[in-house]
Amino acid sequence: MKNIKKVILIIILNILLILQTNIFAYEIEEETDYIWLQQEIENVSANPISEPNLNSRYAIVLDRNSKAILFAKNENQRVPMASTTKIMTAIVLLENLGVNNNLTLDTQVEVCKEAGTIGGSRLGLKTGDKITVNNLLYGLMLCSGNDAAIQIAVSIGGSVEGFANLMNKKAQDLGLENTHFVTPHGLDKPEHYTTAYELALIADYALNIEKISQVVNTKTYTVSINGYAKTITNTNELLGYLNGVNGVKTGFTNGAGRCLVTSVNRNGFNIITVVLGADTKKFRTKDSISLIEYTYSNYELVNLEEIINEKFNEWCKINERRINVYKGKENNLKIKLENYNHKIYPIKKDNIKDINVEIKDIQMNFEAPVYTHTKVADLVLSIGKEKLFDIKILTDDNIERKDIKDYIFECMEILF
C-alpha cells in the first residue's frame, strides 16, 4: 500500500512539474518602478558612454535606414526569444486576413478552449468569449496575451501547428536562416529560436506595416470582450518615458530570460535595439537605455550622397573625355553611378573626418560595341582604412562598332 502511495505521489509531482514548466514559463510582467526608470534615464543622459557594458547576453543596434549594425553582442547566436515572438505573430495575422478565410479586423470570433485555458501573461479570455480580431491584436501586443496569440493562431492557421507553418514561411521569405517558430506566443521549445540580429530584422519589417506601427506605439487601449470594456496597458516600460521610443515588444520565459525589442526615432534617425537573455527586468531596461543613448551620443547621420557626387563629378571633369572606344562609331562615353541605397548613413562622430572616397580599377579603353551599364571603375568609400561600401561607375549609353560604310565615309572626309 505504501509503495502504491509513493508511486501516486511521484506521478502527481511529475505532473505538477510539467504544468509548471509549460503553464508558468511566462512570468506575469512585474510592475515597473517608474521612479527608478526616470532616474536611470536622467543618469545615462547626463553621463554619455563610449561603449555599452551589458548584462544582456545577446544584443544589437540596427539602423533602420541603412540596415547597418551599430553595436552587437553575440548577435548571430540562436536563442529563445519569449514573447518577442508575437511580433511575427502580428505580421502573419495581418498578412493573412482574408486569405483562405473571411476574417477582417472587425470580425468577431469565439474563443476556443486552447486559448481560454493557456497560462502565463493573458488578456483574460475564457472559452466561449466573443472578441474582435482587432482587439486580439491589441491584447497580443500590449499586454502580451498568450490567450490572444493562441486564438489568432487557431483563427488564421486552423491550429497552432498550421499557424507556425505560416510563421516559418514568412521567416523564409524574409531570408532568415537562424529563425524557427513552434508557437505563436514564444513558450520555451527546443526548436523555437531566433537571433538578436534576425529579430531586429523582423521588427524592422513589422514596423513598415502601418497597423503594427500604430498598435505598438499605443500606451493604453480599451478592448471589448463579450461587449464589456477592459483597459489594457502596454508592457513596454520605455514607451512614453524615453525620448523617441515608439515600440516594440517585451518578453520573458525561464529559457529566454528578460527580453526587449525597442524602436526609436529621433529627428529621422531610426534605430531598433534588441536585448535578449537579461537576468532581470531592470537589467533589460537599463541595457536598452544604454544602447539607445550610446547610439545617439556617438553616431550622426551623414549625407554620403553629397560627398560621393562631389568626388564623382570632379573625376568626370578630368577623365570622362579620356575614355576611348576603339572601333566605335563614337569615341567618347557618357558615364554614371549605379543606384545605391546608402545615401544617408550613420557614422561615429569621431570618424566623420576620416571619410575617404577613391576611384579604383579604372578602365579607360574599350573596344566597340560597348553597351550601357558596362563597368568603367569602382568608387570606394572608406572610413580610415575600413571600407564601408563601393559603387560601380557605369557606361550610360551604347556605342556601336564601325562597319565598312563608316570607314569609307572616314576616308572620304580625309580626302575631301
Helix (H, G, I), strand (E, B) or coil at 280: coil
Annotated catalytic residue, options 86, 249, 281, 402: 86
State residue 46's pLDDT score.
85
The stretch 379-384 carries a mean pLDDT of 94
Q: Which of 137, 139, 144 is nearest to 92 (CA)?
A: 137
Supply 360's cell numbers.
579604383
C-alpha grid cell, residue 315: 573625376
- Say how far apart CA 34 and CA 49 lie, in whole Å: 22
String of DSSP letters for 125-173: --TT-EEEHHHHHHHHHTS--HHHHHHHHHHHHSSHHHHHHHHHHHHHH
Catalytic residue (one of 56, 66, 121, 144): 144
Q: What is the DSSP letter of 180?
A: B
**pLDDT value of residue 1:** 54
Q: Is 124 helix (H, G, I), strand (E, B) or coil?
A: coil
Q: Mean pLDDT of all residues in the chain?
A: 91
∠ CA 332-334-340, rounded to 5°: 150
Is 144 among the residues known to form the active site? yes
Containing H/E element for 4?
helix 2-23
Per-residue model confidence as pLDDT tens digits over 64-94: 999 999 999 999 999 999 999 999 999 999 9
> Per the residue annotation, which of 83, 121, 155, 290 is the catalytic one?
83
Grid coordinates in use for 143? Answer: 499586454
Q: 290-313: per-residue pLDDT in tens?
A: 999 999 999 999 999 999 999 999
Torsion, CA 50, CA 55, CA 58, CA 59, rounded to 10: -40
Spatial neighbors of 117 by CB under 8 A, at least 6 apart, are 127
Digit-coded pLDDT (tens) for 259-284: 999 999 999 999 999 999 999 999 99
Report all structural domains of the chain as residue ranges with CATH numbers, in order of start. 29-301 (3.40.710.10), 323-404 (2.60.410.10)
Residue 224 among the catalytic residues: no
* 3-class state of residue 206 by DSSP: helix
CB atoms within 10 A of CB 359: 17
What single-letter amino acid sits at 50? Answer: S
Amino acid identity of residue 219, one-letter, is: K
CA 372 to chain centre: 36
pLDDT category at 328 given cuts 50, 70, 90 is confident
Instruction: pLDDT band for 10, please (50, 70, 90 cuts).
Output: low
In the block, residue with C-alpha cell 556605342: 399
Asked if residue 335 has pLDDT above 70, the reply is yes
Residue 59 and residue 339: Cα distance in Å, rounded?
32
Q: Is 392 an active-site residue?
A: no
User: Maximum Cα–Cα distance for the chain, whole Å?
Assistant: 125
Whether 271 and 264 have beta carbons less than 8 Å apart is answered as yes
Residue 15 has pLDDT above 50, yes or no: no
